Structures are given as C-alpha cells and as structure tokens.
Chain A
Amino acid sequence: MIQIENLSKTYKTSAGGFTALSDVNLTVNDGEIFGIIGLSGAGKSTLVRCINFLEVPTSGKVVIDGDEMGTLSKKELLIKRRSIGMIFQGFNLLEQRTVLKNICFPLEIAKVPKEQAVKRARELLELVGLADKESSYPSQLSGGQKQRVAIARALAAETKYLLCDEATSALDPDTTRSILDLLKKVNKELGVTIIVITHEMKVIESICDRAAVLDGGNVAELAPVSELFANPKSDIARKLILSAVNTAEEIKGGRVIRIIFDGETSYKPVIANLILSCQAPLNILKADTQDVGGKAFGQIIIGLPDDEVLAERVTKYLDDNGIKFSETEAV
C-alpha cells in the first residue's frame, strides 16, 4: 500500500520557488491500477517522482508498505526502490546493451547471480511477447517493443509497484492499446500494483480502477473510474472527459452507417465499446432507441471517421461482434 500524506513540493527557482504540489493526500491499495490524470504542468510527474523519492518532497510523507520513505537511509532507499519499477514516455533503455542485458540490469543491481538473472529475464521477455528479440539492441525496436522491454525491465526485480509516467504518450493508438493490455495482464497475473500517469482520459478509462484528477498541484477529484465518468464533480474532470471525445480527427460528412438494434443486443454499451475498442471518434448523427425489458430496439446513425483504416476497424468490429448495420447516405 502506498500512502501519500499532506505531500507538498516546491521547486527552487530563480523567481523564488514554484509550488508544483500542494497538500496531496491519497492512498493506493495493493492490487489496484490507480490513475493520475491532469493537464500538462499539473504536477503528475512530480507526484510520481516523489513516490520513489527521485524527487524529495518539501513536506509531507510517502509511506510504502509501512516504510516512510523520508526516514530511510540512503542505502535503505536504494533497496526500497528495487521493489518499485518505473517506466517512462521515452522508454529510457540502455542503448548500448541488448534487450536481454537491459532486463538483467536491475537484477545486477540486486546482485542476483548471472545465470539466474538471465533465466528471469527470459521469463519476462516471454511475458511481454518479445522472446525472439533478446539479442536485439533498442535501436532495432519499434516504440511499442521498446516499451515492452522497459516493462519487462521494470518488473525484473521483485517488483511490487509499477509507476508509469506517460508510458503510452509516445505511441500510436493501436500500440497504446496493446501496451495497456499488457499492463492489465501484469496487474492480473503478477499482482503488481500499478500507478498510471496520463493526460489522456482513454488510458484511465481502459485500465484504471480508481483515479485522481490533478489540477495545479491539487487533487481536484478522486473516485472509482466508472463514477468519475458517470458523474464528474470537478470542472477539470469534465474538461478532460470532453476532450477525450473531441479528438483531432474531425468527422466531415464521410461514410455513414446505421446500426440496428433489434432486441438481440441487450444492456451492452455497444457504442461505448465500439469507440473504445476502435479508438475511433464517432459522430452520433441521430439516435432513436428504446429500452424494452432490458433489450434495445431502434437505430443509431453514426458518421465514420474519414480515416480509411479507422472506418474499416469500426465495420470490422461490428461484423465480429454480430452487430447488424447497414451503410446509408449522409443525412
């Protein structure tokens, strides 16, 4: 369990000081995926770096499994950090080491015998699906593959917590999804508690159990994700949720399809799932559905994104999920 109590951080600047965090309180429970979302400059990175004491808080405490980080000796702190993995937007792999050697690095730090370390590293490569890349160098990998290596590396020592600072922000939507899936798997299968920092609501939405919304160094809101979405209380949360819908890819009278609800589809949130799975901005042009005894009837007309690939993904998703639809003219 990670307890953050009355945490404040003021950076020394030439202008006298900048308060990046003020009086932050939150608790991350074991086994959960906890999200921290906020706009750029909200203090997300500062907060996550205070957790493993890469940044020393100005006041307040961070207590991890009963150990107050601020009271640990230098040596104890280094040992404590081994149980807290961290991944970054820029991957931060050692460019001159192979993939396998990168994953062995934290094990070298933990003084694990070489043979055992290599065995463990191979297991992790298997887990992240890169078993065939062990002797590649980072420069030979794609962004998504690099992040997988970084995840394997962060988990190599006896990692209990994984801090992810904008881990998917440099990746395209497909790759983002696969990395988020991997994080979910890591959480489920290895029981690693994960803290996800992001400025994208869709990341929170896809994997987090609970989330804190950070605004100007303060926690504006902290709630289970479903609640946060259904009933955002703070302005900043509402703004972040809205910006998740209005993505850059605008819809300009392209292909239009009609999804038909004939009672087969029940409570499943079809459109929400569709948008999430395809990561496609869909425009609901017209909706006329009725709920009859828990079954949906009616039709929804949506505009497909101009992007050919995205549009194809939407129709494929509908096909795959047995949802009836037909293509119509623009309304």
Chain B
Amino acid sequence: MSELLIKLWDSGTIQKGIWETVYMTFVSAFFSYLIGLPLGILLNVTAKDGIHPMPWLYRIVSIFVNIFRSIPFVILMVAMLPVAKLITGTSLGNNAMIVTLVIAAAPYVARMAESSFKEVGGGVIEAAKSMGASDMRIICQVLIPEAKPSLIVGSVISLVTILGYSAMAGTIGGGGLGMIAVSFGYQRFNDDIIWICVLLTIIIVQIIQETGMLIARKTDKRIR
C-alpha cells in the first residue's frame, strides 16, 4: 500500500469521499424524483392509451425528455455549469454538481416512472373508472400505489445510474470517490487508490441494490 493511500485515509479524505458520493447521489435522486415523477405521471396520463389522452402535450413533454436523454452526461454536465452557478452561486463543489446531476437524471427518472406506470393493467384503471373515480383519484389511489413496487425497483436503477454520473462530476469540480480516483489515483499514478475507489463504489452500489430490492419485495403484495 502506498504512503499516499495511508495519508488519505488518516486525514479522512477517503471517508469524506464516501460521504460526498452518497450525499450527491441521494440528494440528486431526491430532486430528480421531485421533477421526474410528476413528468412520468404526465407522460403516462396524457399518452394515447392513458387515462386522459392529450397527444400534443405528450409530444411536447416526450420530445423535451428525449433531448435531455440524448445528450451524453459529460457534455450535459459542462453545458449546465452556468445553470448550476445561477442556482447555487458557484460552478464548483457538490451542490453545483447536484444541479447538473438533477438536470441529467430527471428525464431519465421520468421515463423509468412512465414505464412503471405502464405496468399497471388497463383493467384495474377501467374498473376504477366504472366506479366513478376521477382522473386525480385514479392517479393517486390506483396508478401510484399499484406501481409502487416497480417504482422502487426503478429508483434502485436510477440511484446506481446517478452514482455513476456523480463520479464523472468529480472530474470537473465535484467531490466524492470520483474526484479521489482521478486527482489522487489517475493523475499521480497511484493504481491502488483507483482500485480502492472502485471497490468502495462496488460496495455502495451493492448496498443500494440489496436494500432497494428488499424494500421492493416487502412492499409488493402480489407474490407470496
């Protein structure tokens, strides 16, 4: 083990990196869902076979989402730095990175949510309609609760994706394990630091994956 690694550990840099990665991932995911989930509902509801078809609105939202989804994250990240600066007052640091992460992840979350809602059978919605349920009630009491297990699975996938993005954000001024791997490992030719970061990332992903799936299984009343 290199001296630098021991130094980084003793000074708490690695521990801070872990925390920053987790922090960026979860805070970004939170805001991504705050924006992406309503977008996903909107996409599902206004689709041709949705509960309230509005083809023109669907088209607009869909195109908007596709545009953001088609820009590679490294490019979107630098392109959105001015926006980050507008919101957080700086284009450096974790909070600025969170802004770019949310802009990249929210459209992704919207598509994930849309596909989760699609899994809710047309039959249940039809039954709710036949009982005289309003569109709003169908969204809140049928669509969301019935899609919940699938939404949770989707959120696990989103979290892991956002974690991957956050490592990239580390290269342009964000913190976290991505930053440590690049500035202490790659730029100073310390392979062991890179590998420690890889290992730590794998562990974090595993924890997210396992807990997420456990929660999804516990929530789902279909299988048992």
Query: A: which residues have CB within 8 A of B?
Result: 52, 54, 77-82, 84-86, 88, 90-97, 105-106, 108-110, 137-140, 150, 153-154, 157, 163
Contacts and interface: CB of A to CB of B under 8 A. Distances in A.
Given A94-B146, A137-B221, A157 B127 contact: no
A163 B129 CA distance: 13
A106 B131 contact: yes
A7 B146 CA distance: 35
Interface pairs A-B: 4 shortest CB-CB: A81-B132, A86-B130, A92-B127, A92-B123
Contacts of A153: 131
Q: Is the interface of B mostly helix, strand, loop or mixed?
A: helix
B49 interface: no
Interface of B: 121, 123-124, 126-134, 137, 141-142, 145-146, 148-149, 220-224
A93 B149 CA distance: 16
B222 A95 contact: yes
Contact of B132 (A79, A137, A139): A79
A88 B127 contact: yes
B123 A78 contact: no
B126 A88 contact: yes
B152 to A, nearest CB: 12
A253 B222 CA distance: 45
A92 B131 CA distance: 12
Contacts of A95: 124, 146, 221-222
16 contacts: A81-B129, A81-B130, A82-B131, A86-B131, A93-B124, A95-B146, A96-B220, A96-B221, A96-B222, A97-B145, A105-B141, A109-B137, A110-B132, A139-B221, A139-B222, A163-B130
Nearest to A87: B127
A311 B104 CA distance: 67
Contact of A105 (B128, B134, B148): B128
Contacts of A88: 123, 126-127
A92 B149 CA distance: 18
Given A79-B132, A92-B124, 9 more contacts: A54-B126, A54-B130, A85-B131, A93-B127, A96-B149, A105-B141, A106-B132, A109-B133, A137-B221
Contacts of B223: 139
Contacts of A91: 123
Contacts of A96: 145-146, 148-149, 220-222
Nearest to A105: B131
Nearest to A81: B132
Nearest to B145: A96
Nearest to A79: B132
A21 B18 CA distance: 65
A86 B221 contact: no
Nearest to B123: A92
Nearest to B130: A86
A52 B145 contact: no
B145 A140 contact: no
B40 to A, nearest CB: 18
B127 A86 contact: yes
A292 B11 CA distance: 110
Contacts of B129: 54, 81
Contacts of B149: 96
Contacts of B222: 95-96, 137, 139
B124 to A, nearest CB: 5
A108 B127 contact: no
Contacts of B146: 94-96
Contacts of A140: 224
A37 to B, nearest CB: 21
Contacts of A81: 129-132
Contacts of B126: 54, 88, 92
Nearest to A48: B130
A97 B148 CA distance: 12
Contacts of A137: 221-222, 224
Contacts of B128: 105
Nearest to B147: A96
A108 to B, nearest CB: 7
Contacts of B130: 52, 54, 81, 84-86, 163
A81 B128 CA distance: 10
A280 B200 CA distance: 67
B218 to A, nearest CB: 12
A86 B129 CA distance: 10
Given A95-B221, A95-B222, A96-B145, A90 B123 contact: yes
